Structure 1
Amino acid sequence: MLKRIMAPLLGPRAKTESEAPVQPAPAPVYSSDATRLAAEIESLAPDKAVQLLTLLKRGLEFQSSEFERYLSAEALTTAIYPKFKFSEFARIFLEDEAFLAYYMRFMDVGNWHSLDRKYAMNELLKLVLHLEGDAAECGAYRGATAYLLCQAFRKIPMSIHLFDSFEGLSEPASVDGTYWRKGSLTAAEDELTQSLREFDNYRIYKGWIPTRFAEAADCRFRFVHVDVDLYQPTLDSLQFFYPRMVAGGIILLDDHGFKSCPGAKQAADEFFESKAENLALLPTGQAFTIKQ
């Protein structure tokens, strides 16, 4: 069935002026990834294989338009994973070549999981450029989002404060669920400094949150990015930075909308329950608030 459906449909033979038959054009060659996907579909969903393979083939056909391929991808994805909802066609951020180049510089090949989150953060940074104060990140990891911070404020006399244990996550509590383990997301400090090698507007604080927060106690902040995945460091970060935010400053929570980080969400919900500001949950999985 795989060969039958994926085989290209050949049109009628063309003829030369002398009516001599001409061989049909070579069949399009599907990539190894597409062929492997087709085989997996046939194996995992034999009851839907005809429908799904037909959709896959339609999207891979040489003369199909970008919109036709988009519709095929939407139909194929919906059949396999109905929870995923495609957005409107032709969103311009997916054609931002400069941003895509930045993203590919930091991420593993084929990993587009945080493209929308990083783009959203980069756009939110534009809203605080006119404010006073420094910026900070809790959970700098390998430096992909720290790079965005350093780049956004590179022409402004201020500092970027980067906090990370460089030992991965601390021990998750029961409220954090079962997804994470102690030591997950470990990255070396050298990886961070290498990512930021073109900047000099940052300072790294190596240590478990909140042990080194006191060193920035006299600072005011216009933007804080909290990406620590767990309940306690999220709560510690909010308790320290919230009272030091300038009016109009943004706190961006990277983990708020993910089932893998229930503790981080609970910490933020509990913290803001008594505050004047509300948290806005984004479809990216992030949440943010603007300090009044």
Structure 2
Amino acid sequence: MPHALDRIRVGSAPDSWGVWFPDDPQQVPWERFLDEVAEAGYDWIELGPYGYLPTDPARLTEEVARRGLKVSAGTVFTGLHRGPAVWDETWAHVGQVAALTQAMGARHLVVIPSFWRDDKTAEILEPPELTAEQWAHLTKGMERLGHEVRERYGLDIVVHPHADTHIDTEEHVERFLDSTDSELVNLCLDTGHYAYCGGDSVKLIETYGERIGYLHLKQVDPDILADVVAGGVPFGPAVRRGVMCEPPSGVPELGPVLEAAQRLGVELFAIVEQDMYPCEPDKPLPIAVRTRRFLRSCGA
């Protein structure tokens, strides 16, 4: 029998139901997502793209409560490497999401950096490497965001390294962590994105344990990933090829990741996020049921 991972709180997210946008005809209705995530055996959910779930706190509270669910985090997208000129626009978006996240009793805000390559069209929007000045804007901007979000909403920000953004590879993630204040900024380690970009999640947890504030659980198919890397395929088309796969068929092994996280001695959310946009509406639930069963077999 596996050891009980009693510090790990497992949940899932709209992403595992093929939801990437607030409104999209290819996505399942939000009511179906809530029904099915509860049916699959998860207690915790994320808000997903702002506007997918109801944004009225009273209504959303009622909808999640009657299904026995609780909210672990909201998600925001930022382009803070562009400097102070984008602060007001960024804060308008962050404030909306943070207010709803706070109202739902959650404590975390997942912050995703902006893409340098369009995940739908594959258009190159910016160079994949930041200049020294842009790195300074990014790190100082994230520290400011962490401070403001905590002061105004009582939330902790966790920055999500993500494929096709400027915080992706081991080198970039370590540079970001070494350049930011742990009191203000910590990490949402997404095991799939980190593996997609060549990183080792267990090593990161063991090296930067005090900076791991949140987990997203997913795996990549190594064979599809090899083709994606060889062909320079952008993230969106890579997802459509099935690069993010159902556990436990891909990498990294999630058991050792969860055990390393348990050893940190702090309570951590571990939210399943199997990127599947777009997908057939009947596909997510059976996968979610099997994934929950697999995670229980790991002790979570």
TM-score after normalising by structure 1: 0.31
Greater RCO, 1 or 2 (C-alpha within 8 Å, sep 6+): 2
Larger radius of gyration: 1
TM-score after normalising by structure 2: 0.30
